[in-house]
Structure 1
């Protein structure tokens, strides 16, 4: 191999400095990075990294979820690298590496892909939650306790009614009443 080139991107708002250091410890002579973005396909660092790779170079990543936002993109990127004579190596998923030094059986590869898909789903979910919060929306299921119900619950509680009684009157669970009154 001519040289080892690293790539990483920010995930979950955590900087890429830790990944960069790990890639350099593993032998990367140059590391390309991308900052977290609302648009997962907008990654100029990855475009520069892929353009800089030559035959017999090695693309090194800490984890495959840093390289690709989804499994289809990972497979097409690694296939393109292989066609160009570039080796792909992931520090956390050795079964996905295209080096001859780490032979993996089909079962190991499929298991690594399954774990990667779970991680990618988690990354996507967290990014969606961050984006929703930035737009002033609260991710998750809406509360059954509207402002109107909370006002009624407060009034009933001021008249010494039990949480279970208030819940029956409002048609919600006792824990929903308790959470709403505790929060307000």
Structure 2
């Protein structure tokens, strides 16, 4: 049952002293430090930190945006921590998910995730219905048969590479191979 800290700043000229001091004051046994933008998905120290954490541990961060920039990132991470039995403590928010109020935070995050997924589904369905009402159908437009025939002629001539054929005709490589395999 260790307290593990994670500190991050976006650029190498920024100082993480405030975060480190706060994490130490919170009783962190180990602190992972990283100088990388929160927009980057590849954050090696965060990955090491998450791998290091065990059930019963607490991940301590100074501010919520240190973990991720998007709601989706934060929701996925909070869900992963909860599933693994790891508490999350956010110093500036006074949130500690090992407490009843902190558990409410996790529940709110899960609710937001569900709401976001449902909203995306609703928007997608509404967009499809609106397109259908205007006479549009989903999916790709049908491929011009003359382009496929031209692609086959070029292929059979053995004078052109697949790349050249696809560039000249607009027929995708996958479609060309599909037609070739079918004949």
> TM-score, length-normalised on structure 1?
0.52
Structure 2: 5+ residue stretches without partners: 113-183
Range with greater deviation from structure 2 (58-67 or 3-12): 3-12
Which position in structure 2 is the counterpart of 1:153?
none
Matches within 5 A, 1:43-62: 43-62=43-62
Distance of aligned partners of 1:15 and 1:103 in 2 relative to their CA distance in 1, 3 Å threshold: closer
Which position in structure 1 is the counterpart of 2:4?
5
Deviations 1:45-83 (A, max 9, x none): 100000000000000000110011211101110110110
Which position in structure 2 is the counterpart of 1:41?
41
Deviations 1:141-177 (A, max 9, x none): xxxxxxxxxxxxxxxxxxxxxxxxxxxxxxxxxxxxx
Distance of aligned partners of 1:104 and 1:58 in 2 relative to their CA distance in 1, 3 Å threshold: closer
Q: What is the CA-CA distance between 1:25 and the residue it aligns to?
A: 0.7
Matches within 5 A, 1:67-146: 67-95=67-95, 97-102=96-101
> TM-score, length-normalised on structure 2?
0.52
Distance of aligned partners of 1:103 and 1:42 in 2 relative to their CA distance in 1, 3 Å threshold: closer
C-alpha RMSD over aligned residues: 2.5
Runs of 4+ in 1 over 3 A off after TM superposition: 101-106
Which position in structure 1 is the counterpart of 2:65?
65
Q: Is the 8 Å Cα contact of residues 94 and 102 (structure 1) preserved in structure 2?
A: no
Work out the number of aligned pairs and report it.
107
3-state secondary structure, aligned to 2:33: strand
3-state secondary structure, aligned to 1:6: strand
Larger Rg: 2
- Distance in 1 (CA, whole Å) between partners of 2:38 and 2:61 is 21
- Distance in 1 (CA, whole Å) between partners of 2:50 and 2:29 is 15
- Distance in 2 (CA, whole Å) between partners of 1:38 and 1:61 is 14
